[in-house]
């Protein structure tokens, strides 16, 4: 990791330099190549630390203030580590979801089920007229067909929506 430490209103001592490098090792374990810009400032009694890590086109930044410079640096490292973990988890989840989708698509094309009953639905069949069946089908927008016993013929019929979405078809047995 390339580290650049800048002190504003503050002289960067060897101890602070070593401390920052040691703490940034926690961040370095997440990346192969990264750059860190560390800006340390003193404003009255407040010590301000700003750490910006840039890697693979992504930027992580943390700014904290404390009465102690070392505590401020620690807070920044904790914030950055949280940001990095969150981003990595999000990426892994996206990759996992994407791989599951492609896995699902490949298994469908490889082992496509054909000529088998894969779903069974049960319907209550009541004796009604074909006109009442149309009204009942209109009430339930999610169904595309309705099985019923035709009162006039006493046989099982099916009323279904046609592709135009306006009209209906009636299926009657011949015998």
Reported as a single tens digit per residue, the pLDDT across 12-52 is 889 999 999 999 888 888 887 889 999 999 988 899 999 99
Residues 6+ apart with CB under 8 A from 55: 31, 33, 34, 35
Residues of the chain with pLDDT under 70: 100-112
Q: Is the pTM of this model over 0.75?
A: no
| Residue 32, pLDDT score | 75
CB of 47 closer than 8 Å to CB of 40: yes
| Residue 91, pLDDT score | 85
| Residue 117, pLDDT score | 79
| Residue 14, pLDDT score | 92
| Residue 103, pLDDT score | 63
What contacts 24+ positions apart, CB below 8 Å, involve 15-22?
16/40, 16/69, 19/70, 19/73, 20/73
- Is 97 strand, coil or helix? helix
| Residue 30, pLDDT score | 83
């Amino acid at each position: 990791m390339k580290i650049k430490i800048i002190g504003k209103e503050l002289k960067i001592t060897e101890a602070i330099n070593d401390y920052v490098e040691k703490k940034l090792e926690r961040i370095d374990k997440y990346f192969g190549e990264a750059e860190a810009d560390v800006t340390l400032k003193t404003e009255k009694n407040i010590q301000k630390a700003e750490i910006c890590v840039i890697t693979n086109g992504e930027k992580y930044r943390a700014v904290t203030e404390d009465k102690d410079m070392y505590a401020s640096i620690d807070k920044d490292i904790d914030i950055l580590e949280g940001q990095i973990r969150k981003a990595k988890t999000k990426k892994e989840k996206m990759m996992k979801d994407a791989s599951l989708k492609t896995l699902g698509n490949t298994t469908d094309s490889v082992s496509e089920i054909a000529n088998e009953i894969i779903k069974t639905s049960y319907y209550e069949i009541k004796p009604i007229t074909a006109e009442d069946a149309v009204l009942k089908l209109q009430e339930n927008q999610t169904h595309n067909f309705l099985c019923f016993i035709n009162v006039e013929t006493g046989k099982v019929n099916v009323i279904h929506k046609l592709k135009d979405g306006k009209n209906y078809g009636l299926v009657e047995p011949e015998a």
